[in-house]
Structure 1
Amino acid sequence: MEKMPKALKLFLLYALVQLVFHTIGEYTICGIFYTMEGQGFLEHQLLMFSAITGDVFIGLGLFLILAFVNKRSDWFLDKWERKDIVIYLLYSILISFYFEIHALHTSRWGYQTDMPLVPGTPIGLVPVLYLIIVLPLALIVTKKIYQSKFA
């Protein structure tokens, strides 16, 4: 990994950190707040794989958007600017709303009665907060790993 370009190293490291976080997060949250009535074991695992993969790609999309806006792939190694925070918040909220509405509309999953909802919507609050927290947390952990192993 030493001869790998810095941009690719950061991108892959961020993808790996996200994979770990989203695997833990999806299995934890889905077990508590979601209902997947009528699904067999294999169907459930495929849905989980899809959700985890989707979350990783959502995070990578954010990474690429902010790298484009900042004109550099290592933008998050420095202090975040206000525009970075606004972009990540809007992106997290909009993308989580879109995927939750789509999944509910297509009956891909449903919510347990314990799922708190975003006021005035049928959207679960937990998946929205989940992306708002996990996406920057994965960037922070990626930064720490990169600085301790590669900088």
Structure 2
Amino acid sequence: MKKLPKTLKLILIFALVQLILHTIGEYTICGIFYSMEGQGILEHQLLMFSAITGDVFIGLGLFVLLAFVNKRSDWFLDKWQRKDIVIYLLYSILIAFYFEIHALHTGRWGYQANMPLVPGTPIGLVPVVHLLIILPLSLIITKKIYQSKFA
């Protein structure tokens, strides 16, 4: 990995970190808060694979957006600026709302009675908080890995 360009190293580390964190998060959250009645094991695993890969691509989209705004792919190795935090918050919340509404509307999944909802909406609070936590945590872990191995 030493011969790869810095941007590619950062993207690969970030994608791998996200894959691990989203896998843990999705399997934990789905078992507690989601209702997927009528699904067989294969159908459930395909849905989980889809959710996890979707989450990873959501994170990569944020990575690319913030790299574009900051005009450099390693922007998060320094202290985050206010604009980075605002973009990350808006992006995470809007994306989480969109995918939850879409999945609920199409019947892709439903919520158990214990799922807390975002006040005034039918959207589960847990998946929104999941993205709000996992995306910056992935960047922080990526930064630590990159600095310990490649800096």
Q: Which TM-score tier does this pair reach, normalised by the shorter chain?
A: over 0.9
Aligned twin of 2:23: 23
Aligned twin of 1:61: 61
Name the CA distance, whole Å, in 2 between partners of 1:72 and 1:8. 12
Gaps of 5+ in 1: none
Name the CA distance, whole Å, in 2 between partners of 1:30 and 1:143. 28
Name the CA distance, whole Å, in 1 between partners of 2:23 and 2:132. 16
Name the CA distance, whole Å, in 1 between partners of 2:10 and 2:72. 11
Q: TM-score, normalised by structure 2?
A: 1.00
Q: TM-score, normalised by structure 1?
A: 1.00
The yes-or-no answer on 1:73 pairing with 2:55 is no
Name the CA distance, whole Å, in 2 between partners of 1:19 and 1:128. 17
Q: Which AA in structure 1 matches 2:132?
A: I
CA RMSD of aligned residues (A): 0.3
Deviations 1:56-80 (A, max 9, x none): 0000000000000000000000000
% identity of equivalent residues: 85
Q: Which AA in structure 1 matches 2:100?
A: E
Name the CA distance, whole Å, in 1 between partners of 2:78 and 2:139. 11
Q: Which AA in structure 2 matches 1:124?
A: G
Q: Which AA in structure 1 matches 2:42?
A: L
Number of residue pairs the alignment of both structures matches: 151
Aligned twin of 1:117: 117
Deviations 1:44-64 (A, max 9, x none): 000000000000000000000
Gaps of 5+ in 2: none
Aligned twin of 1:138: 138
Name the CA distance, whole Å, in 1 between partners of 2:70 and 2:136. 16
Summarize the alignment of residues 81-120 of structure 1 with structure 2, pairs less than 5 Å apart.
Answer: 81-120=81-120
Q: Which AA in structure 2 matches 1:2?
A: K
Aligned twin of 1:51: 51
